[in-house]
Amino acid sequence: MRTKSTAALRIAAGLSGGWKFFNVFKIIPTFIRNAVYNLIARNRYKWFGQKNECRIPTPELKAKFVENL
C-alpha cells in the first residue's frame, strides 16, 4: 500500500504535463518526504484557502470524470 508522499508521487506520475517532474523527488528518503507532506497537509487551508461549498462541474469538466467505476 502506498501512503502519503509515495501515493502523491505515484498520482503525479500518472498525470499529464509537468507533474511528471515530481518523480525526481523519489530519490529523497521517505521519512523526509513524509515530513514535508505532513507540513503541507497541516497548513494547506492557511496557505491555499478553504471553500464553504463545492463547485458544480461544468459539462466540459464533467466530461473528464470517470463514471461507473
* Average model confidence (pLDDT) across the chain: 89
In a domain, 12, yes or no: yes
CA distances for 17 relative to 13, 20, 22, angstroms? 10, 7, 11
d(CA 54, CA 32) in angstroms, rounded, equals 33
Residue 54 is assigned to a structural domain of this protein:
no
SS (H, E, C) the chain: CCCHHHHHHHHHHHCCHHHHHHHHHHHCCHHHHHHHHHHHHHHHHHHHCCCCCCCCCCHHHHCCCCCCC
Is residue 22 in some structural domain?
Answer: yes
| Residues of the domain holding 45 | 4-49
Q: pLDDT band at 20, cuts 50/70/90? A: confident
pTM score > 0.85 for this model?
A: no
Looking at the predicted structure, is the pLDDT value of residue 37 above 90? Answer: yes
